[in-house]
């Protein structure tokens, strides 16, 4: 079987979501590990007055691409930014771009999605379901398409406790839902959303389940693979340890804990914390596309990119490692010494919220007022609570994911690919315990996320930093 870099040699890849967390890591890794790939079409929309080309230039000028710039300075020539707003009819592609894409694309990686848990249903359906369908319809016209790789989430079927590597029946027929949304006004949509999403916690997960079904049904004649990551966190190794550029998921809460602001959270000590590093997800996606491209499996291939079944790691352990690491490496200007109580007891939780979050914030705001400064801590705490509520469901429950396809994929890799495109979980165990035995990960995390260790790195933009609860200026 050809190796992974050999498979990608001369291929034209189409990537959505290249300006996002996962997409940019995938773009970097593809160009670094498979330098003979012919070109990568990145579908990017205009945003904040920037053209897609300017946005891509910004992404590839970032720290994440330092290593690639060193190893393969000509990589820029391979990236072709294509203007595309995925929520528009026909993805808003120009006729010319559409023709080129249809003629030349060999492999698609569909990463773009709205990952906001509280997205209103109409918008979540528009991007996660309708845009996915539009991309599939475009893929059907492609003359040389070998693989359609769809990035989903391991929680798409979180209403089940045991999740196999199959696409389950959807909660509702996506076509019927799309038709209904056309005539419903926003008020009605909001009213029926809780009923529709049923035992799923949010519109994001609900629409990702619908998207999988659309991919399976509409992509029946395509060679489709689905990778389902659980909670994607900072990189394990590549391009350097600890790389991350967002505060989705638990990363923001870790830092709030380190700052001594987060003192309690609704979580079960024994619930599985299924965290997977972004580079492992990317590597698995590249390898899964390679496998489907080379072997042309008869059925859709689904990969549960999770760690819990093979390397169980619990929220109680996460809390222990995070707190003990921050005690050893205190953050500057911490509000208090880090200490967190996880509890699944309703009364206890509200007690701790009042005593250890609200009361100190209230008093601190009085102190700020008395010293002529604007109060900000209550506002910070309110924002923190909102972020916590979104995560509670995941920190209080556990799931068992079957990973047979993942294990099969690992066994298919030749020794060089195993080294270069690591998808295995033996090391994820180490990663999961990222803060304790691997201080370089922790330092990487601080370096890239918080810009704490070296002020010269300005990875997080000022605007983003202002958005963090503990940076609020009142
Ligand atoms: N992060 C996780 O923990 C996690 C876990 C499981 C699964 N996943 C899956 O991984 C994939 C990537 O997630 P992520 O964390 O990288 O998300 P992200 O950082 O929010 O990136 C989302 C990407 O989608 C693009 N996008 C959004 N709306 C668009 C539109 N209307 N037209 C064109 N592009 C649009 C964004 O472009 P703009 O820059 O223009 O907004 C961005 O590039 C998603 O499918 C998600 O469901 C993520």
What are the structural domains, with CATH classification, of the chain?
Answer: 4-241+273-312+398-436 (3.40.50.720)
Out of 112, 125, 252, mutate this one to test ligand 1's pocket (max ligand atoms within 8 Å of CB): namely: 112
- What is the Cα 271 distance to its own chain's centre? 21
At 474 the pLDDT is 27
Look at ligand 1, atom 18, and give the residue with the nearest C-alpha.
Answer: 20
Global pTM value: 0.91
At 313 the pLDDT is 80
Q: Determine which helix (DSSP H) or strand (DSSP E) holds 55, and give its type and residue range.
A: helix 52-60
Beta strands in 289-390 (DSSP E): 301-305, 341-343
Residues 6+ apart with CB under 8 A from 375: 365, 366, 368, 369, 474
Distances (CA, A) of 30 to 23, 109, 149, 299, 332: 10, 11, 14, 25, 37
Look at ligand 1, atom 30, and give the residue with the nearest C-alpha.
Answer: 86
Low-confidence ranges of the chain (pLDDT < 70): 422-474
At 466 the pLDDT is 39
Look at ligand 1, atom 38, and give the residue with the nearest C-alpha.
Answer: 19
Q: Determine which helix (DSSP H) or strand (DSSP E) holds 262, and give its type and residue range.
A: none
At 425 the pLDDT is 44
CB atoms within 10 A of CB 378: 16
Question: Do 339 and 260 touch, CB atoms closer than 8 A?
Answer: yes
At 119 the pLDDT is 94
CA distance linking residue 398 with residue 268, whole number of Å: 9
Look at ligand 1, atom 21, and give the residue with the nearest C-alpha.
Answer: 20
| Start-to-end Cα distance in the chain | 59
Residues 6+ apart with CB under 8 A from 126: 87
Ligand 1 pocket by C-beta < 6 Å: which residues? 17-23, 45, 47, 85-87, 111-115, 127, 151, 153, 208, 229, 231-232, 246, 248-249
Out of 15, 22, 204, mutate this one to test ligand 1's pocket (max ligand atoms within 8 Å of CB): namely: 22
At 314 the pLDDT is 87
Number of H helices, E strands in the chain: 21, 13
């Amino acid at each position: 079987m050809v190796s992974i870099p050999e498979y990608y040699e001369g291929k034209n890849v189409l990537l959505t979501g290249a300006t996002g967390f996962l997409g940019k890591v995938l773009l970097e890794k593809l160009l670094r590990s498979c330098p003979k790939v012919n070109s990568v079409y990145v579908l990017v929309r205009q945003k904040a007055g920037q053209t897609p080309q300017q946005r891509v230039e910004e992404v590839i000028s970032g720290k994440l691409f330092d290593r690639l710039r060193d190893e393969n300075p000509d990589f820029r020539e391979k990236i072709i930014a294509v203007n595309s707003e995925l929520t528009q009819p026909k993805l808003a592609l120009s006729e010319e771009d559409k023709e080129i894409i249809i003629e030349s694309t060999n492999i698609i990686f569909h990463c773009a999605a709205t990952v906001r848990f509280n997205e209103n249903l109409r918008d979540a359906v528009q991007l996660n379901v309708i845009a996915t369908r539009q991309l599939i319809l475009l893929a059907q016209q492609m003359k040389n398409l070998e693989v359609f790789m769809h990035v989903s989430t391991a929680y798409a079927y979180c209403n089940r406790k045991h999740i196999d590597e199959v696409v389950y029946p959807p909660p509702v027929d996506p076509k019927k839902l799309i038709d209904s949304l056309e005539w419903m006004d926003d008020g009605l949509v909001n009213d029926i959303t809780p009923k529709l999403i049923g035992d799923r916690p949010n519109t994001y997960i609900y629409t990702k389940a619908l998207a999988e079904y659309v991919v399976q049904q509409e992509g029946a004649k395509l060679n489709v693979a689905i990778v389902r990551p659980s909670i994607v966190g900072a990189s394990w190794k590549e391009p350097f340890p600890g790389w991350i550029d967002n505060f989705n998921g638990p990363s923001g809460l870790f830092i709030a804990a380190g700052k001594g602001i987060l003192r309690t959270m609704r979580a079960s000590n024994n619930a599985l914390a299924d965290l997977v590093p972004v580079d492992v997800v990317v590597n698995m996606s590249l390898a899964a596309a390679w496998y489907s491209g080379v072997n042309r499996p008869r059925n859709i291939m689904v990969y549960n990119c999770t760690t819990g079944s093979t390397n169980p790691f619990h929220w109680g352990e996460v809390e222990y490692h995070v707190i003990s690491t921050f005690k050893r490496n205190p953050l500057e200007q911490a509000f208090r010494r880090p200490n967190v109580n996880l509890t699944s007891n309703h009364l206890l939780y509200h007690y701790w919220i009042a005593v250890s979050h609200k009361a100190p914030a209230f008093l601190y705001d009085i102190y700020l007022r008395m010293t002529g400064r604007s109060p900000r801590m209550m506002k910070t705490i309110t924002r923190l609570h909102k972020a916590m509520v979104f995560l509670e469901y995941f920190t209080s429950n556990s799931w068992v994911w079957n990973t047979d396809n993942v294990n099969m994929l690992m066994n298919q890799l030749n020794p060089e690919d195993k080294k270069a495109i690591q998808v295995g979980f033996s090391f994820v165990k180490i990663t999961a315990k990222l803060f304790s035995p691997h201080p370089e990960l922790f330092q990487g995390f601080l370096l890239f996320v918080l810009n704490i260790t070296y002020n010269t790195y300005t990875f997080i933009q000022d605007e983003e930093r202002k958005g963090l609860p503990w940076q609020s200026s009142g």
